[in-house]
Amino acid sequence: MDELRPDDVDDDAVEEDAPDTPIDAAVIDRLAAYGHEPEPPHEPEPPHEPGTRGVAESIQPAEEYAVEREASDPTGLTPPLGVVEEDAVPEQRRFGRRRSRDAKPRSVEQRKDKRATKLVGLKIGASQIAAAQVVNNGAPELVEVFREPLEPGVVVSGEIRDPETLGDALKRFFELHKLPKRGVRVGLSNNRIGVRVFQIDGVADTQLENAIRFRAEEVLPIPLDQAVLDYVVLSDEVRPDGTESKRILLVVAYREVVDRYLQACRRAGLQVVGIDLEAFALLRSLESPTERDASAGALVGVAIGHDRTTIAVSTGLYCEFARVLDWGGWSLDVAIARELDRAPSEVEAIKRQLSFARQSEVEGLTAEQVQKARNGIQRALATFGRELVSSLQFYQAQPGALGIGEIVLTGGTAHMDGLTDAIGELVGVPVRLGDPFKRVKVGPQVADDAQPGSLAIAIGLGIED
């Protein structure tokens, strides 16, 4: 990860009235492959370096629109999570693993040593469950992958509303497909997770944990007695004057959200070995971590789910920016339903027959109704385009940010005819459909799927880098 200066981090980026941030049970075990950096607190014009691409200037978010978005997602970031320790009591658990006060903090490199070779990546979305069994022995091999619909209302905006119902659904899902219940890694994606990167100088390793907790009380609006926090040392250097300086990534949130995921998994009899950020899993499914040519620009992974979209920006080795938008395939359903005076739940089949590229025939609709429906989804997509452009402008405002090289779409909605070209026209950056099977050796038992983009995050959760 590029050097981040202390003055690049705004300690007040999270508002005092920011929404509660839940997390529990995880150690940041995955930062070696994908790190995080905080979002600037303002929105200057993005730099346009020679030989790199900038985001289209034709879509500029209105000032009030940007303010509204900032209030709903003050950090703009979601951190990685890691190994879960089930037997730790909540008061002693820091994202799942207890550290001795005398223990020397482990570096990112040290955390790479212990890695499971067989994992089941579990993606729990608002409309479906997807699981991918991956064997990591050199090149990752995809053994099996399955997905099934999930009852509406069980998971909303990345948060579990009914852990018991979800637990029963997971139990049936794993037993039906004979998936192993050990070695499960769960994906997490919502915009209510707090993260900070800051510098600590002149603190010995034995005192580092206390110093970080003290700093957390200063910069975070979450009371520590209600929060779970963890940290990772991103860099450790000795300055010319002999002072030791460490750059720390701190993750903090309330326990409730992850507790609900763990509660559902325990009810299903699953052994959860890790909770990971879906943005990281998305990038792992798209390409292996390698240094990208700066002239090629950053890779932007975009996973369009049912009710939310995950955006992850990578320079090749690290995830430098991530954001979760409250926009998904359901937004298109609502737009169609409004135009045709129907319920959103009734128009899914209509949406699958529409095209962003051309006028198409839709069974049961007149040509006039089809055109009205197309107009509705194009307006809805323009809203998404403004959100995407604004997010990428925030990334480009960061020191050392690359130009945007390409956007890679995944998710079930990404398979709509003409969607990639339509988004490319809105943002002014090349857009292509991602192949979630690109990085894995596909086993003989893996069946073809009409919407492979729906499997990308589950596959990424199963990959170890």
Residue ranges of domains in the chain:
1-39+75-288+439-465, 41-74+290-434
Average of pLDDT values for 287-293? 81
pLDDT at 261: 93
28: helix, strand or coil: coil
Quick check: 90 pLDDT over 70? no
The confidence band for 56, taking pLDDT boundaries of 50, 70 and 90, is low
Quick check: 265 pLDDT over 90? yes
pLDDT at 62: 36
- The continuous run of DSSP H or E covering 251 comes out as strand 244-254
Quick check: 305 pLDDT over 80? yes
Quick check: 207 pLDDT over 50? yes
Quick check: 86 pLDDT over 50? no
Using CA atoms, how far apart are residues 184 and 276, in angstroms rounded to an integer?
Answer: 11
pLDDT at 25: 33
Q: Choose the CATH number for 41-74+290-434 among 3.40.50.720, 3.40.50.300, 3.30.420.40, 3.40.190.10.
A: 3.30.420.40
pLDDT at 231: 76
The confidence band for 322, taking pLDDT boundaries of 50, 70 and 90, is confident
Selection from 445, 411, 455, 464 nearest residue 131 by Cα: 455
Is the pLDDT higher at 196 or at 422?
422
| Contact status, residue 326 vs residue 157, Cβ threshold 8 Å | yes
The predicted-structure confidence for 436-462, as pLDDT tens digits, reads as follows 999 999 999 898 888 899 999 999 999
Report the amino acid identity of residue 247: R
Is the pLDDT higher at 35 or at 158?
158
Quick check: 327 pLDDT over 80? yes
The confidence band for 253, taking pLDDT boundaries of 50, 70 and 90, is low
Query: Is the overall model pTM greater than 0.85, yes or no?
Result: no
Lowest average pLDDT, out of 6-10, 141-145, 351-355, 438-442, goes to 6-10
The predicted-structure confidence for 58-81, as pLDDT tens digits, reads as follows 343 433 333 333 333 333 333 334
Is the pLDDT higher at 465 or at 305?
305
Is the pLDDT higher at 70 or at 397?
397
Q: In the Cβ-directed half-sphere of 368, how many Cα atoms lie within 13 Å?
A: 0
Average of pLDDT values for 271-298? 87
Please report, rounded to a whole number, the percentage of residues in the chain having pLDDT higher than 90: 48
Using CA atoms, how far apart are residues 151 and 128, in angstroms rounded to an integer?
Answer: 8
Q: Does domain 1-39+75-288+439-465 sit in CATH 3.30.420.40? A: yes
Angle, in degrees to the nearest 10, between helices 163-176 and 256-267: 40
- Exposed, middle or buried: residue 88 (CB in 10 Å: 0-12, 13-18, 19+)? middle
